[in-house]
Structure 1
Amino acid sequence: MAAGGPPVLVVTRLDDVTADGVITELNRRRVPVVRLDPGDFPTAVTMNAILDGKGVVGTLSTDTRTIDLERVRAVYWRRPTPYTADLAMSEQTARWTVEEARYGLGGILAALPGAHYVNHPWRNRDAEYKPAQLATAARCGLTVPPTLITNDPGQARAFADTHRPVLYKPLRETEYADAGGRALTVWIDDVQPDQIDERVRHTAHLFQQRVAKRADVRLTAVGENLFAVQITGSPGVDWRRHYDRLTYTLISVPPEVATGVRAYLDAFGLVFGAFDFGLDQDGSWHWYECNPNGQWAWFPDHITSQITEAITDQLQHGGTS
């Protein structure tokens, strides 16, 4: 490889602006970097891995790069596309092929010896479950609003009546489209007791008491670095619906929140986390959730550049700087 030493592997899709910024900074520092999308396997990715008493050795090749598995210094795991199979295969064969790729290539990418992961894909997976997030945040001393997860419409109505005002929140940002293929988003929104009907029985639903907030806070944690951004200007409960009206201000993190956030990262084995809080009228921080692989590159440049540098430091120095 180049004079910059062992390479960084960035695992993501082609259209990932967030990863682009980190790759640009790695290039500026002359750190070798290889971009890989597992969704390109096996068409444009070739894997040769030997596992023996020495661990994992071998190569991983794309159309333009070849990387020695044992030399990868760090892995930035972002937003890869799903594994796919040849369209000519039968449904059962295609399903088998995709799972073999997931457990073969995916298993190798998760077992690179000596690599520093931001974050390890299995840690991301474990930290995506909202019930585990809520329980862990409470154990770490963070203030969690009263929350109900249920498929019982009677209990949901009673909770909404007792804790009003109450929000409905999806348990996961699952891709959803209408009959015409148009992508849809299930937003966080207010819900009244009389809006809750028997359809709640069809699956799990999350209801949470709405914080009387004066602002939102997105706290991006990168190792020991905490970047808290106060978000104001949203006329509704879900600020993601009003990007054109938002104002962003870097603010300090209260010591008790910083302690809780770092304990939370340790509990899940995360290096990176995008935390959402509500800031109430008294200035108290109320924890909502943590996306272990959240976005951050839409912030103004003076904020984005600091997060980019912190992530690049992790990848370049393996979390030791």
Structure 2
Amino acid sequence: MTVLVLTSAQDVTADLVVAELHEQGVPLVRFDPADLPGEVALSTEYVRGEFRGYLSTGGRVASVDALRSVWVRRPGGAAAHAEEPSAWLAEETDHALYGMLDSTDARWMNHPSAAARARRKTWQMRVAHRSGFPVPATLVTTYPAMARRFAEQYRHVVVKSVSGKSPGDPPMALPTTLVPPDADFSGVAAGPTLFQRYIAKRADIRLTSIGDTHFAARKTAEAGQVDGRFGDTGHSWQPVDVPPQVARAVERYKRHASLAYGAFDFAEEEQTGTWWFLECNQGGQFGFVELDTGQPLARTVAEWLAAEPG
């Protein structure tokens, strides 16, 4: 049976897993939905109750009813690279491809509908709280007065993007930034803004959950550091044990979110050592953690993808 990998051509993280699958002798097909139609072709039919479907790319043909798993990493939009792209063609192609794949018994990491919901930070906060994580007080608002009141109440707050990176080309990363309580909050009325109580931290934690296996890594933070993604602290990621209560919360979160993979970010509080939930990235990178820690993340993803459907 075959593993299908949907991602862009420049995805180095996917390259690591593909190499592991090749080493294990697992048949796989990799392509970017942006190349369909064009470099990628599909055909599916439902005749007298029987379903048959085929995908081809680079001279290789895969029968979709023989797929064991589908890894949706960081694919482009359907038909984005077509000779004459259009919103209509993108919608038609998206329905044809994912409708066909939904008709299989393959396992997903992660299913597009689950992934779309899991990206919404406001939804994440609610699920994280219900799963048992400590979650910093959070406000998403277009009311300047609400923003001002929140900042006055918690004194030390940060502002974040609600959706993540901007949609520019190339996308611009928006750092988490401290906001003083006497700031001018009038601009909040122009668009939804996410504020969160600032957690003074001694370390950043990245927990990579793959199926039933959890790997945690810790990176010491500098005093007063706000966003661990930016700047060089002089520290590298180090492996760390996952506390049992955190593991249980991760498993509850993933069940509720219908995720097979999640990259969880925590702030380890300076005084208490509590792991405060910041977000779960359903398609988060893990190559940088494996490079520093030696944790077998790519191999574990490959093993999950290679397992026979249950």
Which of the five TM-score ranges fits, normalised by the shorter chain?
A: over 0.9
State the alpha-carbon separation in 1 of the partners of residues 170 and 296 from structure 2.
35
Residue 97 in 1 paired to residue 89 in 2?
yes
For the aligned residues, what is the CA RMSD?
2.0
State the alpha-carbon separation in 1 of the partners of residues 251 and 110 from structure 2.
15
Residue 159 in 1 paired to residue 154 in 2?
no
Superimposed CA distance per residue, residues 72-109 of structure 1 (whole angstroms, 9 cap, x where no aligned partner)? 111111011123265657xxxx2211111122223223
Residue 114 in 1 paired to residue 105 in 2?
yes
Count of residues in correspondence between the two structures = 307
Q: Output aligned runs, 1:140-155, within 5 Å.
A: 140-155=131-146
> SS at 1:58's partner residue?
strand
Residue 265 in 1 paired to residue 245 in 2?
no
State the alpha-carbon separation in 2 of the partners of residues 16 and 113 from structure 1.
25
> SS at 2:219's partner residue?
strand
Q: Which residue is equivalent to 2:120?
A: 129
Aligned CA distance change for structure 1 residues 167 and 318 (closer, same or farther; 3 Å): farther
> SS at 2:296's partner residue?
helix
Residue 297 in 1 paired to residue 287 in 2?
yes
Q: Which residue is equivalent to 1:3?
A: none
Contact persistence 1:72–1:112 (CA under 8 A): no
What TM-score do you get using the length of structure 2 for normalisation?
0.93
What TM-score do you get using the length of structure 1 for normalisation?
0.90
Aligned CA distance change for structure 1 residues 9 and 234 (closer, same or farther; 3 Å): farther
AA matched with 2:241 = S
Q: Which residue is equivalent to 2:212?
A: 224
Contact persistence 1:248–1:299 (CA under 8 A): yes
Residue 193 in 1 paired to residue 181 in 2?
yes
**C-alpha displacement at 1:53, in angstroms?**
6.0
Superimposed CA distance per residue, residues 46-77 of structure 1 (whole angstroms, 9 cap, x where no aligned partner)? 11011356464121111231100100111111
> SS at 2:76's partner residue?
coil
Q: Which residue is equivalent to 2:56?
A: 61
AA matched with 2:92 = E
Match of 2:238 among 249, 252, 270: 249
> SS at 2:87's partner residue?
helix
> SS at 2:246's partner residue?
helix
Aligned CA distance change for structure 1 residues 52 and 304 (closer, same or farther; 3 Å): farther
**C-alpha displacement at 1:303, in angstroms?**
3.5
Aligned CA distance change for structure 1 residues 55 and 131 (closer, same or farther; 3 Å): farther
Aligned CA distance change for structure 1 residues 136 and 85 (closer, same or farther; 3 Å): same
**C-alpha displacement at 1:28, in angstroms?**
0.3
State the alpha-carbon separation in 1 of the partners of residues 255 and 170 from structure 2.
39
AA matched with 1:261 = V
Aligned CA distance change for structure 1 residues 52 and 188 (closer, same or farther; 3 Å): farther
AA matched with 1:7 = T
Farther-moved stretch of structure 1 (233-242 vs 267-276): 233-242
Structure 2, unaligned runs of 5 or more = none
Structure 1, unaligned runs of 5 or more = 1-5
Q: Which residue is equivalent to 1:36?
A: 31
Aligned CA distance change for structure 1 residues 191 and 319 (closer, same or farther; 3 Å): farther
Q: Which residue is equivalent to 2:66?
A: 71
State the alpha-carbon separation in 1 of the partners of residues 51 and 83 from structure 2.
32
State the alpha-carbon separation in 2 of the partners of residues 137 and 285 from structure 1.
12
Contact persistence 1:298–1:304 (CA under 8 A): no
State the alpha-carbon separation in 2 of the partners of residues 317 and 86 from structure 1.
34
State the alpha-carbon separation in 1 of the partners of residues 114 and 95 from structure 2.
16
AA matched with 1:257 = V
AA matched with 2:304 = Q
State the alpha-carbon separation in 2 of the partners of residues 33 and 194 from structure 1.
56
Residue 80 in 1 paired to residue 80 in 2?
no
